[in-house]
Chain A
Amino acid sequence: MGMVDKLKERLQKSRDGFVKPIKQLFGSRTMDDEFFEELEESLILGDVGAETATRVVEDIKDQVKREKISEPQKVQEMLVDQLTWILEEGNGSCSLPQGSPSVVLIMGVNGSGKTTTAAKLAYRWKHEGSKALLVAGDTFRDAAIEQLSLWADRVGVDLIKQQQGSDPSAVFFDALNAAQSRGVDVVVGDTAGRLHTRTNLMDELQKLYRVTGKVVEGAPHQVLLVVDATTGQNGLAQAEKFHHFVPVSGLVLTKVDGTARGGIALAIKEKLNLPICYLGVGEGVEDLQPFDARSFVEALLG
Chain B
Amino acid sequence: MFTSLTEKLQDTFKKLRGKGKLTEKDIDAAIRELRVNLLEADVNFKVVKKLMSNVKERAVGHEVMKSLTPAQQIVKILREELTAMLEQEDAGLNTSSEPPTVILLAGLQGSGKTTTAAKLANHLRSNGHRPMLIGADLTRPGAVDQLSSLASKEDISFFSEGKTPEEVAQKGLKQAKKSSNDLVIVDTSGRLHIDDELMEELSTLREKMGPSETLLVVDAMTGQDAVNIASDFNERIGISGVILTKLDGDARGGAALSVKAATGCPVKFAGVGEKIEDLEPFYPERMVKRILGMGDVLSLIEKAENTIDQEKAKEMEDKLRSQQFTLEDFKDQLHEIKKMGSIQDMLDMLPSGMGGVPSELKNLSVGDDQVVKTEAIINSMTPEERRDPSIINSSRRKRIARGSGTRVQDVNQLLKQFDMMKKMMKKMGGMDKKKAKKKGIKKLPFFQ
Q: Is there contact, CB below 8 Å, between B225 and A49?
A: no
Q: Is there contact, CB below 8 Å, between B108 and A258?
A: yes
Q: Is there contact, CB below 8 Å, between A147 and B146?
A: yes
Among residues 141 to 197 in chain A, which have CB atoms less than 8 Å away from a CB atom of chain B?
141-144, 146-151, 154, 195-197
Q: Is there contact, CB below 8 Å, between A232 and B223?
A: yes
A-B contact count (CB 8 A): 172
Cβ contacts A214-233/B at 8 Å (1 or 0 each): 00000000000000101111
Tell me which residues across on chain B come within 8 A of A101, comparing CB atoms: none
How far does the alpha carbon of A46 sit from the alpha carbon of B60 in the complex, in Å? 31
Q: Is there contact, CB below 8 Å, between B219 and A230?
A: yes
- Check: B142 CB closer than 8 A to any chain A CB: yes
Cβ contacts A264-286/B at 8 Å (1 or 0 each): 10000000000000000001000
Q: Is there contact, CB below 8 Å, between B194 and A49?
A: no
Name which of B112, B274, B345 has the most chain A CB atoms within 10 A of its CB.
B274
Partner-contacting stretch, out of B69-77, B172-180, B249-257: B249-257
Q: Is there contact, CB below 8 Å, between A234 and B221?
A: yes
Partner-contacting stretch, out of B281-289, B360-368, B406-414: B360-368
- Check: B29 CB closer than 8 A to any chain A CB: no
Looking across the interface, which residue of chain A has its beta carbon closest to that of B109?
A255
Interface size on B, residues (CB 8 A): 55
Name which of A49, A146, A234 has the most chain B CB atoms within 10 A of its CB.
A234
B232 to chain A, nearest CB (A): 9
Looking across the interface, which residue of chain A has its beta carbon closest to that of B38?
A50
Tell me which residues across on chain B come within 8 A of A140, comparing CB atoms: 274
Assuming A47-B225, A142-B149, A228-B110, is B193 touching A259 (CB within 8 A)?
yes
Interface of B is mostly: loop
Looking across the interface, which residue of chain A has its beta carbon closest to that of B189?
A283
Q: Which range contains the number of A residues in contact with the other chain?
A: 35 or more
- Check: B13 CB closer than 8 A to any chain A CB: no
How far does the alpha carbon of A235 sit from the alpha carbon of B274 in the complex, in Å? 19
- Check: A5 CB closer than 8 A to any chain B CB: no
Q: Is there contact, CB below 8 Å, between B149 and A143?
A: yes
- Check: B397 CB closer than 8 A to any chain A CB: no
Query: Can you show 14 pairs from A to B with CB atoms below 8 A apart?
Result: A41-B45, A44-B224, A141-B146, A144-B146, A195-B246, A200-B365, A230-B222, A232-B224, A232-B254, A233-B41, A233-B42, A255-B109, A259-B193, A260-B224
Given A200-B341, A260-B223, 7 other A-B residues pairs in contact with their CB atoms under 8 A: A142-B149, A147-B146, A195-B249, A197-B249, A230-B229, A231-B221, A261-B224
Q: Name A residues whose Cβ lies closer than 8 Å to a Cβ of B.
A: 13-17, 41, 44-47, 49-51, 109-113, 140-144, 146-151, 154, 195-200, 203, 228, 230-235, 237, 255, 257-261, 263-264, 283
Q: Name B residues whose Cβ lies closer than 8 Å to a Cβ of A.
A: 1, 35-36, 39-42, 45, 108-112, 139-143, 145-146, 148-150, 153, 192-194, 219, 221-226, 228-229, 246, 248-252, 254-255, 274, 341-342, 344-345, 348, 365-369
